[in-house]
Amino acid sequence: MEMKKYNQILIKNNNKKQVYQLIEDIPGISRTQIADQMKVSKTTVSALVDELMQEGYVVDEGASVSNRQGRKPNSLTVNSRDNVVIVLNWHKDSLEIGLVDSAMNITMCREYDMRNKADALAELGACFESFQESQCVGVKVMGVCVIVPGMIDERHDKIISVVLPAGEQGSYRISRLREMIKGYPLAILNDTACFAYAENAFGNLESKNYIYININDGVGAALLHGGVLLGGASGMSTQFGHVSVDRNGYPCMCGNRGCLENQIGELALPRLFEEFGLENRKIAGEKLLFKDLVALVKAGDAKAEALMAAMAEDLAYALCNAASLFHPEAVIIGGIGRKLGDTFLAMLKEKMGQMGFRQFVSDVDTEYTTLGEASVVRGAAKYYINQYFRFNDMDGSQLFCG
């Protein structure tokens, strides 16, 4: 194809995507407002909107109620009734499959048992097939996302997870997962990245420069700069849980010492209880939880308070170092770490007020997330549409890692 012609098509497709994105982000927007925002002519916008309407992606809700100033412009919305993204949220013991409509609402969700499955990927494929046959009748599937609690290592064709049950050699191959999800474009995304992406899209966070920290058994983080996930959503770009807060500290599986994960992760609590002289009242096999620590602090246990303060200090130290590298405006804490509650957050803020590069750290607003667990599913769908979906060149064999 002639170069000039090719460029014209490229520009047109990009514009079309941008028009769609504006309609998705600002439901009820008019053609004139889109033209203003994109700095292109209204004729151009109208032609693209017509195309999007003919293809069934956008609907014109008609003129709003007229008033004395005259007829208001027609308002556009995405056609959320007919277009969906299927999102599989893969956990250790269960698999959730949800339908997210193109207005980013979860319209239905099913949960499947994944315990004791000899071949987790084959099971995932079978669950997907049955879901898709029963739930996706009469709708257009824009794509499929699989959220994994781990790293998506495209180069080595591997999903690396310490959370998912250890499968047989090669059982978490990316190429094999691709074979299990037939017929649709597929994006494999890291869970923390999807949670992080959801904050700006669905939370009350104004900032586009922030760190999202997922505190669970371990600790993960994702960095957003200008609303863009740094390094994408593969989980391969940061290992915040393995930032050392004590170079002579407790040795970690990763080879480093004093890793943040071993200082504040829930799995580290039994060791930390011992170090701080706290009695672990759990019976064998029962897990020590953040909320157990919180209960002790509430009851006025001085040792428990000392442990919580040490955890806050370690996290503050890691965050202040991250702030020096990255200058975020906000830190959002998600995961079960939220159970550490207000006392921990107050301690964390106090410690952050005492360390780090002052000019940067004093700008940072640190809060727990206000979004629920389901935000990961919406975050995945939104990221996939924004990042990968194209109107004119999608096919069922496409694979996007991160």
Q: Given the complex with Zn ion, which of 226 and 255 has the nearer CB atom? A: 255
**Enclosing H/E stretch for 188:** strand 186-190
* 35's tokens: 């033209």
- CA–CA gap between residue 160 and residue 142 (Å, rounded): 27
What is the smallest separation between the CB atom of 239 and Zn ion, expressed in angstroms?
A: 8
Per CB under 5 A, the segment of 104-112, 155-163, 238-246, 377-385 that binds Zn ion is 238-246
- The answer to whether 259 contacts Zn ion (rule: CB under 5 A) is yes
Applying CB under 5 A, among 256, 280, 321, 343 the residue interacting with Zn ion is 256
DSSP code of residue 56:
T
Q: Minimum Å distance from CB 399 to Zn ion?
A: 30
Of 197, 187, 196, 117, the closest CA to residue 152 belongs to 187
Q: Which of 31, 242, 351, 382 binds Zn ion (CB under 5 A)?
A: 242
Q: Is the dihedral of CA 326, 329, 335, 339 positive or negative?
A: positive
Residues 311, 269: contact at Cβ < 8 Å? no
Q: Which is nearer to Zn ion, 193 or 259 (CB)?
A: 259
Candidate list 254, 295, 346, 394; residue touching Zn ion; CB under 5 A? 254
Q: Which amino acid is at 85?
A: V
Asked if 257 touches Zn ion (CB under 5 A), the answer is: no
Nearer to Zn ion, 76 or 243 (CB): 243
Cα distances (angstroms) measured from residue 274 to each of 102, 241, 266, 281, 292: 50, 21, 14, 12, 14
- Binding segment (CB under 5 A) for Zn ion, from list 72-80, 162-170, 234-242, 386-394: 234-242
306-311 own/partner pairs: CB under 8 Å, 24+ apart: 306/276, 307/272, 307/273, 307/275, 307/276, 307/278, 308/340, 308/343, 308/344, 308/347, 309/347, 310/263, 310/272, 310/276, 311/263, 311/264, 311/272, 311/340, 311/344
Interface region with Zn ion, contact rule CB under 5 A, candidates 87-95, 161-169, 251-259, 349-357: 251-259
Tokens for 76? Answer: 């556009």
Q: Are strands 83-90 and 140-148 parallel, antiparallel or unpaired?
A: parallel
Shortest Cβ distance from residue 260 to Zn ion (Å)?
8
Give least dist CB 45 to Zn ion, A.
Answer: 51
Q: How far is the CB of 289 from Zn ion (least distance, A)?
A: 22
Is there binding between residue 382 and Zn ion (CB under 5 A)? no
Evaluated on CA atoms 267, 332, 195, 228, the torsion sign reads: negative
Count of positions on this chain that bind Zn ion (CB under 5 A): 5
- When asked if residue 88 is in the footprint of Zn ion (CB under 5 A), the reply is no
Pick the closer one to Zn ion by CB: 95 or 219. Answer: 219
Nearest approach, Cβ of residue 257 and Zn ion (Å): 8
End-to-end CA distance of the chain: 31
Rounded least distance, CB 254 to Zn ion, Å: 3
Binding of residue 318 to Zn ion (CB under 5 A): no
Cβ atoms of residues 190 and 375 within 8 Å: no
To Zn ion, the closest distance from the beta carbon of 329 in angstroms equals: 28
Residue 186 vs 215, nearer CB to Zn ion? 215
Q: Does 260 bind Zn ion (CB under 5 A)?
A: no
Footprint of Zn ion (CB under 5 A): 242, 252, 254, 256, 259
